[in-house]
Amino acid sequence: MLIDTHAHIDGEEFDEDRPEVIERARQAGVASIFIPNVNPSGVGKMMQVCAQYPDYLFPMIGLHPEDVDAHFHEALDNLEQLLTDDNPFVAIGEVGLDFYWDTTFKTQQLEAFETQVQWALTYQLPLMIHCRSANLELVEVLEKYRGCGLTGVFHCFTGNEEDVMRLLSFEGFALGIGGVLTFKKSKLPEVLAHHVPLDRIVLETDSPYMAPVPHRGKRNESAFVEHVAERLAEIYGLDRKAVEDTTTHNAIKIFKKYPLLRS
């Protein structure tokens, strides 16, 4: 059993063949797909798609750092209204910091991220964290909450040994590993093999982006997460079932509202 902990399957890229994409995922052994939210305008469609597959697709709620602008307070207010005590969300995400392309709203990104960290604590939900060109600033925010019980995933991890040491110092967090692991020139296999125990890894696709080999350059989809599991098995010298069992256990432990935890 596999869990794709991060897939934008509600995106327009899947509007023409979403049922077929989900069926291929099932056939590949994917038991569930978790869907991140990126802004208030996308919540409606995400929830509609999840309602069509209530035992298979599970939503998150959050404001992506690239969607933070001068009006971010209003966006956060709109999202927070959905965080009732019986909310359906399995995580606060996709949230974080991204200073790669533009730092115009750097201060606002930092404030928005910290606000959503506080949501995670209030509603006892894990964080799905996006971070690009902002590792030091990210750690600085999280340090304020060390020991408070935060959990979550550092999504799309592609960092080095130093990044591993910083991020995995936060107990209750795992690294989200996807298609980059399979790329020919990726240094990620060596980093994982020498510095990251398998019990700190969850699987993800980030579909429709960053498809793994042998599908690189094409639209990514959840079924392709099996290629990531296969590459992890090679790296750790394990059979694929051991990788599936461990990474699925890791995901269930982090995403405490996920129904399989209660079954």
Q: What is the DSSP letter of 188?
A: H
Predicted pLDDT at 18: 98
Token pair of 229 as six digits: 């599991």
CB contact at 8 A, 97 and 127: no
* Residue range 133-189, pLDDT digits in tens: 999 999 999 999 999 999 999 999 999 999 999 999 999 999 999 999 999 999 999
Residue-range definition of the domain harbouring residue 154: 2-262
Predicted pLDDT at 85: 86
CA distance 201 to 174: 5
CA distance 127 to 173: 9
Whether the predicted pLDDT of 239 surpasses 60: yes
Give the sheet arrangement for strand 201-203, strand by strand. Answer: 92-98, 127-132, 152-154, 173-177, 201-203
Residue 258 — pLDDT band, cuts 50, 70, 90?
Answer: confident
Taking residues 103-125, report their average pLDDT: 97
* Residue range 5-31, pLDDT digits in tens: 999 999 999 999 999 999 999 999 999
Tally of domains within the chain: 1
Predicted pLDDT at 257: 84
CATH number at residue 252: 3.20.20.140
CB contact at 8 A, 18 and 49: yes
Predicted pLDDT at 41: 97
- Annotate 94-152 with three-state secondary structure: EEEEECCCCCCCHHHHHHHHHHHHHHHHHHCCCEEEEEECCHHHHHHHHHCCCCCCCCE
